[in-house]
């Protein structure tokens, strides 16, 4: 069986689509958890681009970078969720729109 290869640009297109969907999620949803998840989606899209290019150029650097991104995002999720819990404790609601005390 002949295996046809997939062009790089396809992978990039998928990545872009996922990224945009993640951005939409950040903008539209009011639940901070959903927003956070959308952010993870965006990070994933970026990771996909890295790996695609690593494969394209034949180096491992991209994969190493993805490794680090995953680590950092894990740490970031932990801290972020802790913050959301704290805010919930104070405000008893997780509507992002209620957190507008920085209003000018």
Partner 1 sequence: MTLTLGLFIVLAAVAVASAVGLLVSRNTVYAALFLVLNFATVAVFYLLLGAPFIALAQVTIYAGAIMVLFLFVIMLLGADALPRRQVLPWQRPLAIALAAVLLAEAGFLLFQRVHLSANLANPEAAVNTTESLRTLGMALFSQYLLPFEVTSVLLLVAMVGVIVLTKKVKGEPG
Partner 2 sequence: MENSGLFSLVPLIVFLPVCGLLVNIIFGGRMNEKAIGAVASAASGLAFVVAGLLGFALWAGRGEAVVVPFADWIHIGDLNVAWNFRVDSLSVLMMLVVSGVGTLIHIYAIGYMHEDVRFKNDTGRYRRFFVFLNLFIAMMMILVSGDSYLMLFVGWEGVGLCSFLLIGFWYDMDTLGRPSFANSNAARKAFITNRIGDLGFLLAGFTMFWAFKDLSFAGVFGGAEQLASISPGVILFITLFLLVGVAGKSAQLPLYVWLPDAMAGPTPVSALIHAATMVTAGVYLVARSAPLYTLVPQAQSVVALVGGITALFAATIAVGQYDIKKVLAYSTISQLGFMVAAVGMGAYVAGMFHLVTHAFFKALLFLSAGSVILGLERGHHQLAHHGGHASPTPHQDPHTPGDQHAEDVFDPGDMRNMGGLRRQMPVTFWLYLIGTLALAGIFPLAGFWSKDEILLDAAKNFPLVYILLTAAAFFTAFYMGRQVWMVWFGKPRHPAAEHAQESPKVITVPLMVLAGLSLLGGALNLPYVHTLGKWLEHTIAAAEHEVEVAPWLAVSWGGLNPFVALLSLALALVAIFIAWLLYGRKPLAEGQKDPLKKLLGPVFTVFERKYWVDEAYWAVFVDRYVDIARFLANVVDGRFWHDFIHDRVIAGTYNWLSRVVLDLHVDQQFIDAIANGLGRLTTRISASLRRLQNGFVRSYALAVLAGVVVILGYLILK
Binding window for partner 2 (CB under 8 A); candidates: 7-15, 24-32, 41-49, 67-75: 24-32
C-alpha to C-alpha distance for 95 and 87, rounded to whole angstroms: 10
Decide: is 9 part of the binding site for partner 2 (CB under 8 A).
no
- 54-62 contacts, C-beta under 8 A, 24 or more apart: 56/8
- Give the three-state DSSP class for 101: coil
Decide: is 104 part of the binding site for partner 2 (CB under 8 A).
yes
C-alpha to C-alpha distance for 76 and 70, rounded to whole angstroms: 10
Q: Cβ 3 to partner 1, closest distance in Å?
A: 5
Decide: is 91 part of the binding site for partner 1 (CB under 8 A).
no
**Residues touching partner 1: how many (CB under 8 A)?**
71
Q: Identify residues 28-47 at the interface with partner 2 (CB under 8 A).
A: 28, 30
For helices 32-57 and 8-28, what crossing angle results, to 10°?
170
Q: Cβ 62 to partner 1, closest distance in Å?
A: 8
Decide: is 81 part of the binding site for partner 1 (CB under 8 A).
yes
Decide: is 47 part of the binding site for partner 1 (CB under 8 A).
yes
Structure tokens at 65: 């970078």
């Amino acid at each position: 069986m002949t295996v046809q290869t997939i062009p790089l640009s396809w992978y990039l297109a998928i990545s872009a689509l996922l990224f945009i969907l993640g951005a939409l999620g950040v903008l539209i949803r009011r639940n901070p958890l959903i927003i956070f998840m959308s952010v993870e989606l965006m990070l994933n899209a970026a990771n996909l681009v890295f790996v695609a290019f690593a494969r394209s150029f034949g180096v491992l650097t991209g994969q190493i970078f993805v490794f680090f991104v995953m680590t950092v995002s894990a740490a970031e999720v932990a801290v972020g969720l802790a913050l959301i819990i704290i805010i919930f404790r104070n405000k008893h609601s997780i509507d992002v729109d209620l957190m507008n005390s920085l209003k000018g």
